[in-house]
A and B are shown apart, each in its own frame.
Chain A
Amino acid sequence: MTIAQRFNTTFEGWLTASETNAAGRMALFRILFGLFSLWMISGRLYEELGLIPGMVFRPLVIIRLIPAQPAPAFFVALELLLVASLVLLIFGFQTRVATVAVLVLGILLGAYRYSFGKISHADLFAAIYIPAMFVFASWGNCYSIDSLLRRRRGQPIVQPSDSSWRYAWPMHMTLLLLSVLFLGAALAKSTRGWWFGDTQFINDLLRFHDVREMLGGEAANPLSALIANATFLHNILRIVPLAFEALFFVSLFNKKLRTFFVSSAILFHMFNLVVLGIDFTPMLITYAIFVDWQKIYERIWPKQLNLGAVFERLPSPVLIGGVTLLAVLAALSWNSSLTLRAPFQSLPSLPFWYVATVVCSVVVVKTLIEIVSDFVSSRRTIRDWTPDVAEKHG
């Protein structure tokens, strides 16, 4: 077997590895993704993209061939289509079509959002990469109107416990993308000289962000004074984030390492939020793809609250008409006073970060203990496997 063949076999094995409850957890992730996306867009008035004066319009490459900045009504139409598509996605009706719509609208709205001089990287996964993967993957086979209608037509149904790689591969793909991006970040920092070469870099970084925060009317980082006066902390702050980014790809090797690095990533973003004021809230949903929501659902969802049974009782035309009507009403009311936007808009992001930080801290410690314990026991097994023992075992 050549090296290329061996690599191919290993890679295929990794990509097609099964995951517990893959079908169920991806379906529940779809619902969370839809709700999360509504939350993310609830604070934006997309209409203004058509109103911002042309003097600051610097179109990105992908829209440079479009001759003019579209009118506000164009962006309102896109926004309402996005809301309707997300509602369909949450209920799992016409899931594939809704996913394609979310992707196309995410690209169009994103391209214009970032055509005024600043590109943000925080929402690329949420707005584009995740829907792009699920255009080709399946996240509508459980907990969806589509699956209910398929069953009524006599077609085979998928159990939430189905662990097939066909449902799980977006997790693996996401991990690979994150690994490449984190490795690239580490490479850029370590090769361009500033991160290690400039002795004032950490102080400059803190000063830069403190000034920015204070000019925005926010408080400066309370730890700045402590960090500025402790050289050993400078070294920790240089080495730990860089090591995290450079080693993230290790998460590809096994599930415990994946759990460790994905949980650490939340702590990494929380640290950046607290110390540097860099808000990566849209990235939270990216890491949520690695959680076994099916297991959580089975453990904590009250059995009496069986939403599926409610849908079961409704005839198919009522289900189809009802969900379609709901999507249309949600879109049409999005910009009115009686709106779906308001409850999402009022949700603050910090409590989510606090909860995620507490949970991930526990998971990081627990997983680290397990990894070390596995390593120690594997070493012990190798040590105990002396020729005598091997002979005895035959």
Chain B
Amino acid sequence: MSNPPDAHANSDALLLHRLKIAIAVVVVVFTLQILAPRGVPEIWPLTRWEMYSFALDVPGDIVETDQLRVVDSAGVQHIYPTSILYTSVGAPDPASGRIIRAAFSPDDNSDRDAFRVHVLDRLHARFPDFEAAEVQLWHLTWHLTASPIAQFDYSAPDEATMIGSFTSADVMGGGL
């Protein structure tokens, strides 16, 4: 059973008409997004590609970062950047670092304990091969030499300060 030729021609004409309308709408919306001034949020999933059209927040003479050091139950230390907690949030995301900072907040309260449980859960989900016994947060600093290119040894920071640590026994033993 096949459609008569007229039916094909009509459906093609209708498809073409609808496509033209869809293309016009998409092109207008994309163009408006492109022309929008800075600060106007992108209406995802419509997008605009404007990478590197603004000044960059370039690191100067000092480079700083937080680092997570996890000691497992066998005493082995594992080192991770603080973006390690989540796999699903796309590009290196500040969410993970903010949660880790909250888990090491100087305020001793129930929120902080909940963040600590969350960090342990996520580490277990990401790295099921070992049990985290202790989690430490370090702040690392490198002093860069005057050079157009950034040169530093990630494994040898000029300054390394431990912001805090907690053990899984402390967190789980706290009735959480």
Contacts and interface: CB of A to CB of B under 8 A. Distances in A.
B41 A52 contact: no
A113 B89 contact: yes
A45 B125 contact: yes
- Most B CB contacts (10 A, CB to CB) among A55, A118, A177, A207 go to A207
Contacts of B44: 60-62, 110-111, 114, 119
Nearest to A214: B154
B53 A119 contact: no
Nearest to B38: A192
Contact of B148 (A129, A155, A166, A207): A207
A48 B88 contact: yes
A309 B156 CA distance: 61
A189 B16 CA distance: 35
Q: How large is the interface on B (under 10, 10 to 19, 20 to 34, 35 or more residues)?
A: 35 or more
Interface string A113-141: 11011111111100011000000100000
Contacts of B50: 184-185, 188-189
A16 B99 CA distance: 52
A244 interface: no
Nearest to B58: A204
Nearest to B97: A56
A350 B81 CA distance: 22
B48 A207 contact: no
Interface in A173-188: 173, 176-177, 180-182, 184-185, 187-188
Given A56-B98, A204-B56, A207-B59, A224 B149 contact: yes
Contact of B81 (A194, A215, A220): A215
A128 B27 contact: no
B91 A53 contact: no
A52 B149 contact: no
Contacts of B115: 53
A116 B150 contact: no
Interface stretch (B18-26, B129-137, B158-166, B167-175): B18-26
Contacts of A278: 51
B74 interface: no
Given A117-B94, A119-B42, A189 B30 contact: no
Given A48-B122, A48-B125, A184-B49, A154 B114 contact: no
Given A11-B20, A60-B44, A118 B91 contact: yes
B13 to A, nearest CB: 10
A45 B87 CA distance: 6
B102 A53 contact: yes
B48 A56 contact: no
Interface in B107-133: 114-115, 118, 121-122, 125-126
Contacts of B122: 48, 51
Nearest to A184: B34
Nearest to A43: B87
B56 A208 contact: yes
B90 interface: yes
Contact of B90 (A15, A113, A206): A113
Nearest to B2: A156
Contacts of B34: 180, 184, 187-188
A368 interface: no
Interface in A210-239: 210-212, 214-217, 220, 224-225, 228-229
B45 A155 contact: no
A46 interface: yes
A107 B31 contact: no
Given A184-B34, A189-B52, A45 B88 contact: yes
Contact of A216 (B63, B86, B92, B149): B92
B43 interface: yes
Contacts of B23: 15, 173, 176
Given A11-B20, A189-B52, A215-B65, A210 B30 contact: no
A119 to B, nearest CB: 6
B73 interface: no
B121 A208 contact: no
Nearest to A197: B55
A93 interface: no
Contacts of B27: 176, 180
A44 B89 CA distance: 9
A298 interface: no
A19 B52 CA distance: 36
B150 A214 contact: yes
Nearest to A60: B44
B138 to A, nearest CB: 13
Contacts of B88: 44-46, 48-49, 113
27 contacts: A15-B16, A45-B88, A48-B87, A48-B122, A49-B89, A51-B121, A53-B118, A113-B89, A128-B45, A166-B15, A176-B27, A181-B49, A182-B49, A185-B50, A187-B34, A188-B34, A189-B52, A189-B53, A194-B53, A195-B53, A203-B149, A208-B58, A208-B59, A210-B149, A214-B154, A220-B151, A228-B147
Closest 10 CB pairs of A and B: A184-B34, A188-B53, A120-B90, A116-B95, A185-B49, A56-B95, A228-B148, A188-B50, A44-B88, A120-B91
Given A195-B53, A207-B150, 4 more contacts: A15-B19, A49-B88, A184-B30, A189-B50
